Amino acid sequence: MKSSADVSFLPEPPLVRGPRLSMLRLPTSWSMEPSLYARAMDRHTRGQVLAFNVLPDDPARVMRFDAGQFGLLTAHVYPKGRWERLAVCNDWHAWLFLFDDEADEQADVGQRPEYLAHYVEACLRVLRGGRPGARATPLERFTYQLRQRMSSLASEMWMERFIHDVEDYLLRGTLPAARHWTDGTVPALEPYIEQRALDSGVYTALDLVEFAEPGQELPEELFRLPLVQRMRQLCTRVVALTNDLFSFEKEVLWHRNPNNFIHVLGVNQGLGLEEAIFAGIELINSDTDAFIACEEALLASRLSDPRVLAYVEGMKAWIRGNVHWSLVTGRYSSPTSPFPELRR
């Protein structure tokens, strides 16, 4: 753990021949056709977040939300999902991104851990089955509606697993990140990677791989297989740390938030920006290679349950789809981005 006096935000030198996002290793064999529901999901979720006032009816905020194209992400990561279930998945993605924006960008939320803890617990209470109170926030009411729709389509076992992962996301991911931002501290590298995996919300999104199509829920004995759990961990790390590449400028340079893989890597290892990005991409690619090796081991084991194979395809869709969406969404594009691919 470094003290606040040790925090140094990496500068932003011009990167003419430096690292590029195209250096991320993505097997071409993982290509797949996205769902055709992307635009329909965008329209549906836009209506939901405005109706519940989770997203205030402010032109600038709505324009930024629309630029995110969350329906395109959902279309790529659950390409075979059914419409009713995809609508729930896309609403949950919007929930994650809207909550993330509050916790990571708004100092009056993200730098008030006690307030954030109360906010988090209120949402969890509703997700666990409680009804929103008379003074419930828009996010609590939206959470309650999402729970109702999820529980009508999923088993109790799946709901318990999903809620557990949401609890980890909020209590073991978001709240520790808020404390680092408040205290001005940079975590050590390995603890940060574990924290970021939880704070990303990706485990909850991987649960939706089982939800997006009927009949794809994994029984506990298959879900707990060591190779499945290891691939789930690696997939989450790859997606979470890749997201830190795309969001580096927004989080670190604009909002001075120390919770970013490239910043943590640079501060802990005394690297400049280019060196930190090169090292970060190398680590992400190493995790992708490990994921591929696990898939090969799983196939060699002759485990043929179609639900496990579909879950593996869903994790691959998340690794590849996250990069594709991040490159085209307006959420990360900036003329001053350290990555030339995002300077639009």
The amino acid that residue 188 corresponds to is A
Q: What is the mean pLDDT of residues 282-302?
A: 96
Is 203 a residue whose pLDDT tops 90? yes
Q: What is the pLDDT of residue 228?
A: 97
What is the torsion angle, in degrees rounded to the nearest 10, for the CA atoms of residue 215, residue 218, residue 221 and residue 226? 150
Q: How far is 222 from 227, CA to CA, in rounded Å? A: 10
Q: Is 118 or 166 the better-scoring residue by pLDDT?
A: 166
Nearest alpha-carbon partner for 293 in 211, 221, 230, 341: 230
Is 215 a residue whose pLDDT tops 60? yes
CB 71 within 8 A of CB 37: yes
CB 312 within 8 A of CB 295: yes
Summarised one tens digit per residue, pLDDT across range 68-112 is 999 999 999 999 999 999 999 999 999 999 888 775 444 455 456
Coil, strand or helix at 54? coil
Least confident segment among 135-139, 235-239, 264-268: 135-139
Give the list of residues 6+ apart from residue 273 with CB closer than 8 angstroms, or none: 10, 11, 12, 13, 15, 262, 266, 338
Summarised one tens digit per residue, pLDDT across range 9-60 is 444 444 446 789 999 999 989 987 999 999 999 999 999 999 999 988 889 9
Q: State how many domains the chain has.
A: 1
State both tokens at 275. 């060196």
Sign of torsion, CA 35 36 38 41? negative
Q: What is the mean pLDDT of residues 212-226?
A: 97
Banded model confidence at residue 273, pLDDT cuts 50, 70, 90 = very high
CB atoms near residue 339 (< 10 Å): 21
Nearest alpha-carbon partner for 150 in 67, 236, 206, 92: 92
CATH number, domain containing residue 164:
1.10.600.10
Give the 3-state DSSP-derived string for 101-143, with helices as H, strands as E and coil as C.
Answer: HHHHHCHHHHCCHHHHHHHHHHHHHHHCCCCCCCCCCHHHHHH
Q: What is the pLDDT of residue 99?
A: 87
Nearest alpha-carbon partner for 83 in 71, 98, 93: 71
CB atoms near residue 221 (< 10 Å): 7
Q: How far is 145 from 64, CA to CA, in rounded Å? A: 24
Banded model confidence at residue 3, pLDDT cuts 50, 70, 90 = very low
Nearest alpha-carbon partner for 86 in 150, 147, 144: 150
Q: What is the pLDDT of residue 110?
A: 42
Summarised one tens digit per residue, pLDDT across range 169-202 is 999 998 899 889 888 899 999 999 999 999 999 9
Q: What is the pLDDT of residue 193?
A: 97
- Percentage, residues of the chain above pLDDT 90: 76
Domain residues for 256?
4-28+35-342
DSSP class of residue 13 equals -
Summarised one tens digit per residue, pLDDT across range 126-184 is 999 999 989 999 999 999 999 999 999 999 999 999 999 999 999 999 889 988 988 88
Is 210 a residue whose pLDDT tops 50? yes
